[in-house]
Amino acid sequence: MENDRKFKQLLQKTRDCCPTENMDEIRRVYEFARVAFGDRKRASGKSQLDHALDVAILLIDWKMPPDIVIAGLLHDILEYTTYTEEDIAKKFGRKVARLIIGENRLDSLKYMGKERYAENLRRMFLAMADDVQVVFIKFADRVDNLRTLAGLPEEKKRRLALESLNIYAPIAGRLGMDLIRRELEDLSFKNLMPKEYGKISELVESYKKHERKNYEQVKQKIEDGAKTNGIKITAIENRIKSMYSLYRKAEAKKKNPTKIYDIAACRVIVPTVADCYTLLGIIHANWHPLPDRFKDFIAQPKPNGYRSLHTNVFCNKTIVEFQIRTIEMHQEAEYGVTAHWIYKEQRDQWQKDFVKRTAWIKELFSIQKEIKNHADFSNTIKSVKLDLFKNRIFVLTPKGDVIDLPDDATPLDYAYEIHVEIGHHYLSAKVNGEIVPMNHILHSNDAVEIIRSHDQPTVKNSWLRVVATRHAREEIKNFLSKHADDE
């Protein structure tokens, strides 16, 4: 039977990364789910147990801890059987039951109309603020749903794809889970815009056909250079960029898709950080680098933990992008902070790193505390969604710390992000050593220094037209409101 085959696959994957007791627990959970779901079918025609196994397999492939995998296997148990939360807690533990309840709350999210969308997005934010790990199960559930949309009505297909593209994929990106983000984006893109997806697919196939020889030559040069310098390359591959990112690139630059040159990146994985920099030198010695296209995310990691060296070079009349990283950096780039579960010696550090790298979710807590009803949430949802999900930049403090901001942020936004009082006492700012106006737009890798008043606050109503983040705007409004009587 198909279910038995998938269960054996799940067991093998569990054996590869988890202690024996986790395998025994997986067996126990599977037997329970098999009896509980019985012969129940989903709207797509797929059996409920088959779906549950696919969700659990995705989670184990994404390097999730056992509790999350078990909750994924049981995520539909409360909705489609007579079992209760207490039943699950007694059988499999309170944490598993809590994860299932949290994931079930996300099922109420329906991308239908502005007001309903705002209210359900509010519920999702509250669920994530309570325990962000529930969204990992939803990612897996959604990927499997997007793979099996054929039997659903067109309206529901579109809703699921829009919801995945506009909400879940950006959240995966913010959590550093690039493998998940790409799959959510590409599956959604394929269902929402099949014609455009087809054009990009043709472009990628053409690239594979015509650039294979060039890639083999590049690969050989890198391997020869690495061998000469005593570097043992762990892996080297020509990684095609996601379909959706290529589509967005074409749209943003109003290009004909056939004119996009950076369709793939040559990813090289080496044993050590020192090897990364040595290999960068080898690449730049063989091919001419493009000005301003080198990025060192090892020395200055992104706030979501991403580390790698990026460089673009001219190679055989075309542009080739290289990404250079260690195996640990690669695992983190693909799976986010959950990649630490792969390394047994790092499992005790997993929770600390997880909390640190999801610090941006404090915004969700502030929403939970500050917004009391549906109407208030509807009024603020646009700015919240923009702050959380739009493209991000990474600027540096004078001490070299990395600050994460939306891509139209100003020095005043930066000041409020550092500390409210620094924002309230803002006088001017230096960006890369030069004084800039308050409405100057910051860019990634800018070094920012705030010059502030040591006397009275300097807040003005006009500042509201300068800031881009909800946080800065709310702090300015609060200050002006409290001091209105002083004017």
For 306-333, the pLDDT digits (tens) are 899 999 998 877 788 999 999 989 988 8
Residues 274 and 375 sit within 8 Å (Cβ to Cβ): no
Question: Can you give the pTM of this predicted structure?
Answer: 0.74
Residue 8 burial by CB count (10 A; 0-12/13-18/19+): exposed, middle or buried?
Answer: exposed
Q: What is the mean pLDDT of residues 21-38?
A: 89
Picking from 172, 151, 139, 127, the residue whose alpha carbon sits closest to that of residue 54 is: 139
| Predicted pLDDT at 21 | 66
Q: What is the mean pLDDT of residues 87-91?
A: 94
Give the range with max mean pLDDT: 299-303, 370-374, 459-463.
459-463
Residue 42 burial by CB count (10 A; 0-12/13-18/19+): exposed, middle or buried?
Answer: middle
At which residue do the structure tokens 């542009």 appear?
319
> Residue 450: is its pLDDT beyond 90?
yes
| Predicted pLDDT at 327 | 92
In the chain, DSSP finds a helix count (H) and a strand count (E) of: 22, 11
Picking from 58, 46, 45, 51, the residue whose alpha carbon sits closest to that of residue 33 is: 51
* pLDDT-derived band at 115, boundaries 50, 70, 90: low
Which comes out higher in pLDDT, residue 187 or 118? 187
> Residue 345: is its pLDDT beyond 80?
no
| Predicted pLDDT at 108 | 56
Q: How large is the greatest C-alpha to C-alpha distance in the chain, in angstroms?
A: 77
Which part of the chain has CATH 3.30.460.10? 194-336
Which comes out higher in pLDDT, residue 420 or 7? 420
Residue 222's contacts (CB-CB under 8 Å, 6 or more residues apart) are 233, 236, 266, 268, 279, 282, 283, 286
Which part of the chain has CATH 3.10.20.30? 390-486
Residue 228's contacts (CB-CB under 8 Å, 6 or more residues apart) are none
| Predicted pLDDT at 170 | 81
* pLDDT-derived band at 10, boundaries 50, 70, 90: confident
| Predicted pLDDT at 352 | 59
Q: What percent of the chain has pLDDT over 90?
A: 41
Q: What is the mean pLDDT of residues 461-485?
A: 88
Between β-strands 402-406 and 392-396, what pairing exists: parallel, antiparallel or unpaired? antiparallel
| Predicted pLDDT at 260 | 66
* pLDDT-derived band at 463, boundaries 50, 70, 90: very high
Pick 194-336's CATH classification: 3.40.50.11540, 3.30.460.10, 3.40.640.10, 2.40.50.100.
3.30.460.10
| Predicted pLDDT at 72 | 95
**Averaged confidence pLDDT in the chain:** 82
- The dotted CATH code for 2-192 is 1.10.3210.10
Q: Which of 86-95, 142-151, 369-378, 463-472 has the lowest mean pLDDT?
A: 369-378
Q: Which of 47-61, 254-268, 418-432 has the lowest mean pLDDT?
A: 254-268
> Residue 385: is its pLDDT beyond 80?
no
Q: What is the mean pLDDT of residues 477-482?
A: 90
Q: What is the mean pLDDT of residues 299-312?
A: 86
Superfamily (CATH) of domain 390-486: Beta-grasp domain (3.10.20.30)
Which comes out higher in pLDDT, residue 230 or 331? 230
| Residue type (1 letter), 233 | I
* pLDDT-derived band at 54, boundaries 50, 70, 90: very high
Which part of the chain has CATH 1.10.3210.10? 2-192
